[in-house]
Structure 1
Amino acid sequence: MTEYSVLVPFVPRRPEQLLPFAGLVHWTGAHRLWQGQGMTTEPYQGFAHAAGAGFRVPTGLGVTLMPMKHPYEAALQAKSLSLMTGESVVAGFGPGSRDMQWALRGEPYRSPLTAAREYLTAVRGALTGTPEVVEGEYWHQAARLAALPGPVVELGLGVLRPGMAKVAGELADVAITWLTPARYLAELVVPALKAGAEKAGRGVPRVAAIVPLALAGDGRDPAKLALASNGAHLSLPHYRDMLRKGHVPIGEGAFDAGSPEGDALALVKGDAFLYGTGEEIVDRLAAYRAAGVDEIVLNVTGVASVEGAVAASQELKKVLRLVGRA
């Protein structure tokens, strides 16, 4: 059965801003509370605050950036969060953009795939106490966490293109996607996951797709919502390449080529940003289930940016009700 989860649709500046969304997971059939990498506040600390306030819910990090943490610290934070909340944690990681890699390391990864493979191996070693020492091109890791019983920590890998999907198939528990249309997942990502898993002789990782969406409404401009949600991603070459391969008409003349608004409208037309009536949203989410997605993470960042946090919380309640999780 496909699970439905929710993404905190902004980076909280104060811990109490997180609580309505933690409460939403606590009080509904939503499966897990997710956050991406925060550059203002650290998501692990926000989740721990929510647990201290009484909202002990499963959490997911989708994704934190590898250059920001040594693998041992990443393992320690994930294990600590599972112990503080008493619930499972999906600790998702990704290499970040080349600019971010340069800013934190002084140079980008020569091979993001190699860096990710080493990183996940090192984090898992620290968590499980396996005796192998990771002495790689990018990471050295020989330390181990103390063996303590606790909720499961699953390792996730941010997946955008087939190469990283194969690495996730080899090593990850969860493949985490962002802004990826259902058809792109079905045609390219899921087959690559299966190939990586087969190569490693292991089961195929679960797929958690973080899906941006908004319900149609009077006065709502879908292009404005899509741009507010994903404008930064539209400027990144690797996202534009993925979207084109997913048959999203980015930069085509019919959608005012070259303008941010035109590209945002292309996200809507290409079902990368889901916009429509409740029935239409449910039908388009069904395409993700058919593509092999195990967990759909509802992302209403566009609504939060344009209309505020209260509207975003109400939007999530409506969509959860539509998919039978309210």
Structure 2
Amino acid sequence: MRLSVSVGLWQDRPAGEAVLTAQIADEHGYPEIWVGEMATYDAFALATAIGARTRRAALTIGPLAVNVRDPMMIAMGAASVADLTGRPVGVALGTSTPVVVEEWHGRSRAGSAAALHESVQALRPLLDGERSDFSGAHVASQGYRLRLGAPRSPISVAAFGPDAVRAAALADRMVLNLLTPSSAARLITDLRLLTCTTKVVAWVVAAVDPGQAAIEQIRRAMVPYLYAPGYREMFAQAGFEEVAAYARTRPDPRDLLAAIPDDMLEAVALIGDSVEIMDRLDAYEEAGVDEVALVPVSTDADPCGEATLKALAD
């Protein structure tokens, strides 16, 4: 199975660790670095900085919210990073959350599933250097063509529900985040009914021989997902009905955090020694996943997840 690395962007860690994590991944031979966007760095700026401080790894930027960034903006950003770094650059698209789209950006999230589908269609010719000529119900771009070299970026789509899976079928890769292998297998089955060519990438949090700080880092990261419909049902199906039912009552985040058991973390993360993690990777591979993008946990004991990345590279 192919392994790549996603920079963690952990909220309680120094923001600059994202660049350091990327440097470590590049030094240990990981072929690709995924550069997401949270509340700190602009993703294109961060990808440019990573490209300047690494030597080999390809870069994939996103997932970017399609209700916030339009196709022309994404194509120009990808071409800019490719030109300034000399690296292959991919883009990933998603619908993001109501908090990010509606509260942070003040945009409507209405029609996000259709916008995701249309964005893939509008972006493909732009990234190939063609003049834009697309008008959809939610996405449009007319008359723009890149002045920089065409990056010919592969397009990835973050998917969870059936509408996003249909959009992913138009893309080069489908990205799954924080899913159990069995849930991943169900989505991949739906994808394969539509196409046999789209590859599947699973973003999975990883910590080799974790201490308690790493366990708590993963536990905190799971809290927002438990508030989200769909993810709650996934955890219920995985045997954690009580926690899912409790999350449905919208408790205080601190109380929900305390209710998450360790074995719930193990259902969606790579935790343990190298042998245990290899077994978990095998489970994702058997589910139909082609690539795992490791999201290394960063703590004071293992800054930037360096020990984890080294162990899994070896």
Same fold per superposition (TM over 0.5): yes
Q: Which residue of 2 aligns with 1:262?
A: 259
* Aligned-residue offset at 1:42: 0.9
Residue pairs, 1:1-326, within 5 angstroms: 2-10=1-9, 17-103=17-103, 104-109=105-110, 111-129=111-129, 133-146=133-146, 149=149, 152-169=152-169, 171-186=170-185, 188-197=186-195, 203-217=196-210, 219-220=211-212, 224-245=216-237, 247-252=238-243, 259-263=256-260, 265=262, 267-269=264-266, 271-300=267-296, 303-304=297-298, 306-307=299-300, 310=303, 312-321=305-314
Residue identity in the other structure for 1:265:
D
* Aligned-residue offset at 1:29: 2.7
Give the percent of matched residue pairs that are identical in Structure 1 and Structure 2: 21
Cα RMSD after superposing both structures: 3.0
CA distance in 2, matches of 1:262, 1:309: 26
CA distance in 1, matches of 2:233, 2:247: 18
Distance 1:250 1:314, change over 3 A: farther
Given that residues 50 and 56 in structure 1 are in contact (C-alpha distance below 8 angstroms), is that contact kept between their aligned partners in structure 2?
no
* Aligned-residue offset at 1:211: 0.5
Given that residues 113 and 164 in structure 2 are in contact (C-alpha distance below 8 angstroms), is that contact kept between their aligned partners in structure 1?
yes
* Aligned-residue offset at 1:243: 3.4
CA distance in 2, matches of 1:147, 1:107: 31
Residue identity in the other structure for 1:118:
E
Farther-moved stretch of structure 1 (79-88 vs 307-316) = 307-316
- State the number of aligned residues: 306
CA distance in 1, matches of 2:87, 2:115: 29
CA distance in 2, matches of 1:65, 1:264: 31
Given that residues 211 and 297 in structure 1 are in contact (C-alpha distance below 8 angstroms), is that contact kept between their aligned partners in structure 2?
yes
TM-score for the superposition, normalised by structure 2: 0.84
CA distance in 2, matches of 1:106, 1:147: 29
CA distance in 2, matches of 1:185, 1:56: 30
Residue identity in the other structure for 1:207:
V
Given that residues 62 and 176 in structure 1 are in contact (C-alpha distance below 8 angstroms), is that contact kept between their aligned partners in structure 2?
no
CA distance in 2, matches of 1:77, 1:151: 10
Distance 1:268 1:18, change over 3 A: closer
Q: Deviations over 1:18-54 (max 9, x none)?
A: 4432322332231211122232211221221232335
* Aligned-residue offset at 1:127: 1.8
Tell me, what secondary structure is at the counterpart of 2:240? Answer: coil
CA distance in 2, matches of 1:253, 1:295: 28
CA distance in 1, matches of 2:168, 2:128: 18
* Aligned-residue offset at 1:251: 3.1
* Aligned-residue offset at 1:151: 5.2
TM-score for the superposition, normalised by structure 1: 0.82
Farther-moved stretch of structure 1 (124-133 vs 88-97) = 124-133
CA distance in 2, matches of 1:250, 1:45: 41
Tell me, what secondary structure is at the counterpart of 1:307? Answer: coil
Structure 2: stretches of 5+ with no match in the other structure: none
Distance 1:7 1:264, change over 3 A: farther
Structure 1: stretches of 5+ with no match in the other structure: 198-202, 322-326
Given that residues 249 and 266 in structure 1 are in contact (C-alpha distance below 8 angstroms), is that contact kept between their aligned partners in structure 2?
no
